[in-house]
Structure 1
Amino acid sequence: MAVYSMTGYASAQHSTANSAVDGEPKNPLVSQLGLEIRSVNSRFLDLSFKLPEDLRPYEPALRDLLIAKLKRGKVEVRASVETSSSSSVPDPSPKLLQRLNAVQDNVKAWLPQANPLSVADVLRLCAAEQSSHHDWSGTVLQVAEKALKELLSARQREGARLTAMLSDHVSQIRTLVQQASPLVPQLVAQQRQRFLDRWKEAMALTDGTTLPEAAQDRALTEATAFAIRIDVAEEITRVNSHLDEIERLLKKGGEVGKRLDFLIQELHREANTMGSKSAALELTHISVDMKVLIEQMREQVQNIE
């Protein structure tokens, strides 16, 4: 199963030609339905619709269609309807002109100060009248399904890109972990020798005798306590475990965004702990590099469904 991003855009159009209203086939009408779907990341599925009045009755069906295919994301659906005749200017029918004239006379009888209809007003009302006669019941869902299919393809392509980036970052973090693993035993050995050297110097200042066994045991005890404080073996084990789970989820696909987000938080916690236990500059650099990679992963995981 593929990994899907929550970011995507798609559009679809459909045009139909029909005879002019009122049974006068002077200029065939061309009606075009345009539909756009935009999607960005969100914790849940958040749908919003911006539809013209003619398409409002189809909103429930559009909502059901999107809910069946999308699981997360802030999704906005925009639709528009444009109607025109074969000529560049609509041709009002005599019946429409007669009706507009009667309405205008009725309005002016009550409101003498009202302005008369202009040619532009008549053409605009003519276009609205022609548009209202078109039935989109058999078309809206087909156009929406086409746009939704393109949206899913776009989200899948973006998901593949995110998967490749995350896999690359996982490999880089594993490399850093491999670099950190041998550093801790080296640091412990160095610190143990440093403690022993200090005890020898202290004993030499007292009586010049050789290092007593008790003093040597004390140095070893201090070195052991130091080793416990800087030991990051558990953190390294958990980091590798989280990386294994991230790779498994990326291969599995589907709705993995929330689980990946949780794992990234856990990775960041382990990297912080490694940094706080760091007793050498090399470990500090490794911890910082890990946190930079993990933060980049966290930003991208926010976009995965």
Structure 2
Amino acid sequence: MTKSMTGFGRGTSRQALLAVTVEIKSVNHRFHECTVKMPRMYAETEEKVKKVISSYIKRGKVDVYVSVESEKPNSHKLIVDWQLLDAYAQFVKDASARYGIEESLRVRDLLKQTDAFTAVEMKEEHSADDAIMSALEEACKKLSDMRVNEGKELENELLFQVQSLKQKVEFAMDLSPDVSRKYKDRLEKTIREYTNGIDESRLLTEVAIFADKADVTEEFTRLLSHIKQFERALLKNEPIGRRLDFLTQEMHREVNTIGSKASDEKVAAAVIDMKSILEKIREQVQNIE
């Protein structure tokens, strides 16, 4: 099954007094990379989120946004640094005795010592883990469905391009046997124009040398083999993006070699067409998981 690396999924869940929304988006990336953004008070759930994501996505850059809203009014707890206040009260008492100044310490004087007081938001009594996981699963399934649907379109396009490539390869292969014959005819014509006779053995030797240098049988064989592997890979139910990328590079390498050896206009034109098709394939492959 061919999967795209791009997609979006959104899931929601309600539990007790909590409402959770999870949004996931994924784009092309050479490896798997996951970034999770969620409220700090639920940060311990991040690793669980990443583990679930990795079970759905093997390759691609993934951004996860987790929103947790509570229907319960915000509650805070006041943390008091009593040691600091004790030190402040003792200082006032010591200063009064030292300098003979009568000074009564009032509560509002203590409240001015802001460093001694910290207000912290109380964590919800109900754990948000279950609600987050439920919304996450929904978002992951929607994301996966989108990636599968887009992957089918990519697969159809790749199969079409591969068939076009195969046709060009077969066309070029049919032309190859004529290359040596045409070279022999041109060489023989040239010799007749500039000499009185033809050394048949020398002519055959020159043609044999040319035929050996221009022989692209091995390149065509490997190219067709890569095309078959490419088609088989599209049928596998696993991440295939890297394999397709490698096969595309290898096909491009063989086409380049054929192009460098080609001395026929029609073969050269077919090579240009093959390169154009391979470029389209390469662009599509970059988006496959």
Scaled by the length of structure 1, the TM-score of the pair is: 0.76
- 1:17–1:69 CA distance, 2 compared to 1 (3 A): closer
Could you tell me how far apart the structure 1 residues matched to 2:110 and 2:68 are? 29
How far apart are 1:198 and its partner, in Å?
2.4
Preserved CA contact (<8 Å) 1:199 1:219: no
Preserved CA contact (<8 Å) 1:13 1:32: yes
Give the residue type in structure 1 aligned to 2:217. Answer: A
Matched, 1:67 2:72: no
Matched, 1:249 2:233: yes
- SS of residue matched to 1:254: coil
Give the residue type in structure 2 aligned to 1:295. Answer: E
How far apart are 1:37 and its partner, in Å?
1.1
Give the residue type in structure 1 aligned to 2:245. Answer: D
- SS of residue matched to 2:36: strand
Preserved CA contact (<8 Å) 2:15 2:131: no
Alignment-derived partner of residue 195 in structure 1: 187
Matched, 1:43 2:30: yes
Matched, 1:223 2:207: yes
Alignment-derived partner of residue 171 in structure 1: 163
Give the residue type in structure 1 aligned to 2:187. Answer: F
Give the residue type in structure 2 aligned to 1:240. Answer: L
Alignment-derived partner of residue 98 in structure 2: none
- 1:218–1:155 CA distance, 2 compared to 1 (3 A): same
Alignment-derived partner of residue 180 in structure 1: 172
How far apart are 1:134 and its partner, in Å?
4.8
How far apart are 1:15 and its partner, in Å?
3.4
Give the residue type in structure 2 aligned to 1:42. Answer: H
Map 1:1-305 onto structure 2 (within 5 A).
Answer: 2-16=1-15, 18=17, 31-84=18-71, 109-110=112-113, 132-204=124-196, 211=197, 215-305=199-289
Could you tell me how far apart the structure 2 residues matched to 1:145 and 1:171 are? 38
- SS of residue matched to 1:253: coil
Could you tell me how far apart the structure 1 residues matched to 2:277 and 2:7 are? 25
Could you tell me how far apart the structure 2 residues matched to 1:200 and 1:138 are? 90
- SS of residue matched to 1:173: helix
How far apart are 1:44 and its partner, in Å?
2.2
Matched pairs, number: 259
Could you tell me how far apart the structure 1 residues matched to 2:283 and 2:211 are? 35
Could you tell me how far apart the structure 1 residues matched to 2:226 and 2:143 are? 31
How far apart are 1:264 and its partner, in Å?
0.6
Could you tell me how far apart the structure 1 residues matched to 2:29 and 2:203 are? 56
Could you tell me how far apart the structure 2 residues matched to 1:36 and 1:106 are? 49
How far apart are 1:74 and its partner, in Å?
1.5
State percent identity of aligned pairs.
35
- SS of residue matched to 2:4: coil
What 5-or-longer segments of structure 2 have no aligned partner?
A: 79-107
Preserved CA contact (<8 Å) 2:241 2:285: yes
RMSD: 2.8
Alignment-derived partner of residue 99 in structure 2: none
Preserved CA contact (<8 Å) 2:29 2:60: yes
CA offsets, 1:134-193, max 9 Å, x none?
531321111111111111111111211111111111000011012111222222112111
Give the residue type in structure 2 aligned to 1:278. Answer: A
- SS of residue matched to 1:5: coil
Alignment-derived partner of residue 207 in structure 1: none
How far apart are 1:276 and its partner, in Å?
0.8
How far apart are 1:131 and its partner, in Å?
7.9
Alignment-derived partner of residue 116 in structure 1: none
- SS of residue matched to 1:169: helix
Structure 1 window deviating more from structure 2 (257-266 vs 227-236): it is: 227-236
Give the residue type in structure 1 aligned to 2:180. Answer: V
Give the residue type in structure 2 aligned to 1:75. Answer: V
Could you tell me how far apart the structure 1 residues matched to 2:32 and 2:172 are? 41
Scaled by the length of structure 2, the TM-score of the pair is: 0.80
Give the residue type in structure 1 aligned to 2:200. Answer: Q
